[in-house]
Structure 1
Amino acid sequence: MTSENNSATTVLGSQNNHSREQDEAAARKQMRRGILQMVMMNIILPIVIYSILEGKVSLVLALALSGIPPALEGLYNIYKTRQIDAIAVMVIISIIFSIVVVLLTSDAKLILLKDSIQTVLLGLLFGTSIFMKENLIWRYNRQFSGHNPETQKEMDERWKNPRVKHVTNVLCMVWAIGFLIEATIRIILIYTIPTDILGYLSPCLLVVVLGSLALFSVMYVKHVKNKYATIGNNQQ
Structure 2
Amino acid sequence: MLGTLLCDIAAPAGGYYLLRAFDVAPVWALTLSGLPPALRVLYLAARHRRVDGMGVFVLAIVAIGLATSLLTGDARLQLVRGAWFSVLIGVWMLASLRIGRRPTTYQATLALLPGRASTLEARWADTPSFRRVWRVLTVVWGVGGLVHSAGSIAMAYTLPVDVVPGLDTALSIGSFVVLQVITQVLLAREGTMNRMFRGRAQLPAA
Q: Considering the TM-score relative to the shorter chain, is it more than 0.5?
A: yes
**CA pair 183-83 structure 1, distance change in 2 beyond 3 A:** same
SS of the counterpart of 2:80? helix
The Cα of 1:114 is off from its aligned counterpart by 0.5
- Tell me which amino acid in the other structure corresponds to 1:139: Q
The Cα of 1:120 is off from its aligned counterpart by 0.5
- Tell me which amino acid in the other structure corresponds to 1:108: A
Distance in 2, Cα, partners of 1:77 & 1:68: 14
Q: 2:82 corresponds to which residue? A: 115
Structure 2 counterpart of 1:152, from 117, 129, 145:
117
SS of the counterpart of 1:134? coil
Distance in 2, Cα, partners of 1:115 & 1:139: 22
**CA pair 215-117 structure 1, distance change in 2 beyond 3 A:** same
Residue 98 (1) aligns with residue 65 (2): yes
Distance in 1, Cα, partners of 2:112 & 2:59: 22
The Cα of 1:73 is off from its aligned counterpart by 4.3
Distance in 1, Cα, partners of 2:61 & 2:174: 22
**CA pair 158-76 structure 1, distance change in 2 beyond 3 A:** farther
How high is the TM-score relative to the length of structure 2? 0.78
How high is the TM-score relative to the length of structure 1? 0.69
Residue 67 (1) aligns with residue 66 (2): no
Contact 1:123 / 1:175 at 8 angstroms: preserved in 2? yes
Distance in 2, Cα, partners of 1:180 & 1:78: 29
Gaps of 5+ in 2: 196-206
**CA pair 135-216 structure 1, distance change in 2 beyond 3 A:** same
Contact 1:42 / 1:203 at 8 angstroms: preserved in 2? no
Contact 1:43 / 1:204 at 8 angstroms: preserved in 2? no
Contact 2:130 / 2:190 at 8 angstroms: preserved in 1? no
Instruction: Report the aligned-residue RMSD.
Output: 2.6
Contact 2:41 / 2:51 at 8 angstroms: preserved in 1? no
- Mapping 1:1-236, distance limit 5 Å: 35-56=1-22, 57-74=24-41, 80=48, 82=50, 85=53, 87-130=54-97, 131-145=99-113, 147-148=114-115, 151-161=116-126, 162-225=128-191
Contact 1:186 / 1:202 at 8 angstroms: preserved in 2? yes
- Tell me which amino acid in the other structure corresponds to 2:11: L
Rg larger for: 1
Contact 2:129 / 2:190 at 8 angstroms: preserved in 1? no
Identity in percent: 26
Equivalent pairs, count: 189
Gaps of 5+ in 1: 1-34, 230-236
Distance in 2, Cα, partners of 1:117 & 1:71: 18
Distance in 2, Cα, partners of 1:72 & 1:123: 25
**CA pair 78-118 structure 1, distance change in 2 beyond 3 A:** farther
Output one character per residue of 1:80-129: Cα deviation in whole Å (capped at 9) or x when no partner. Answer: 484664x4543343122111112123211011111210211121122122
